[in-house]
Amino acid sequence: MILTIIGILIGLIGAFVLVIYLRYFIPLRPKEEGFVIIFNQKTMKQILILITTIIFLSCSKNCKNKYNFSNTTENIPEISIDFNESKKEIRQQIETHFSEDLCKKCDKVEFKIPMKFDNKKGFLKVYTDYDYPICENCNIPLRLKNEYSISISSNKSILVNTTISSVDSLSSKIAKYYKNVGNPEGTFPKRFDQVYFNLDWNEGVDKKIILKVLHEISKGHLEFVEEKLMKDKEDFCDKTSIEINSFKEKYPLNIELDLGIKDIMDLKTLERFQK
């Protein structure tokens, strides 16, 4: 509501600016009964640009909450991962940002990677596992989590759980999955903190596609929260920063970079089968 009023005020101010522009900056030609505005091609172009700008400013919402919701400000390492490297090399990149031996943690390791939201630089929170089977010294983890598996093949198609899909349709699938949390019909998580998106890709996949998929996951997460509030007749853009942070806690986004875990598990399964 507040942002709507602001939009109307911007529109009124824009209209006032247009009147001033026409009065003082458009060339006039004397006429017997007064003056007439000279509308040449250049003048018409200037007016059209100004009108378009006014309409855009008055109709659009400067919703900073979208950026604030997607961007993480947590005090965790910032790592600019080179996704063109192999999974083993990427893990080595991650390990250089920590002073301890990550295999001694036997747990997930969180960090943030550069990501643009609404063409503004920010960070996306992700994690990777330093537990069994990556670290042989660790016990087999017993965690209750529902993995939403996303695999990118070398031919640029993606496999969402067991269904072939496109990158552009991923955000809507993510939002739909969140909506089904707590649904007893199907194998859906009971709680939002049990939702985990596991991302894997084949060697040689373009890093732009990997980053695009990560962005689409984040976009779907945002769409879910926006739609949920809209259903309750609330405006996401009107929420305070405290409320935005509470949504982050209530509907967490957990993205796991697989980085070779599935490959090791598949190899171990094959070895057991051969025995």
pTM equals: 0.77
What whole-number distance in Å separates Cα of residue 85 and Cα of residue 106? 24
pLDDT at 1: 45
pLDDT at 187: 87
pLDDT at 44: 56
pLDDT digits (tens, 9 = 90+) for 168-178: 999 999 999 99
What whole-number distance in Å separates Cα of residue 215 and Cα of residue 191? 23
pLDDT at 40: 56
What whole-number distance in Å separates Cα of residue 250 and Cα of residue 100? 31
pLDDT digits (tens, 9 = 90+) for 107-129: 999 999 999 998 999 999 999 99
| Residue 150 CB-density burial (10 A; 0-12 exposed, 13-18 middle, 19+ buried) | buried
Coil, strand or helix: which one is 124?
Answer: strand
The 8-class DSSP code of residue 237 comes to G
pLDDT at 78: 98
- Show me where the domains of the chain are located: 2-59, 64-274
pLDDT digits (tens, 9 = 90+) for 216-225: 999 999 999 9
Buried b (16+ CB within 10 A) or exposed e, 119-133: eeebbbbbbbbbbbb
How crowded is the C-beta side of 26, counted as CA atoms within 13 Å? 21
C-beta of residue 47 within 8 angstroms of C-beta of residue 219: no
The pair of structure tokens assigned to 95 is 């390990």
Mark the ranges of the chain whose per-residue pLDDT is less than 70.
1-62, 143-145, 270-275
Closest CA to 139 of 167, 186, 105: 105
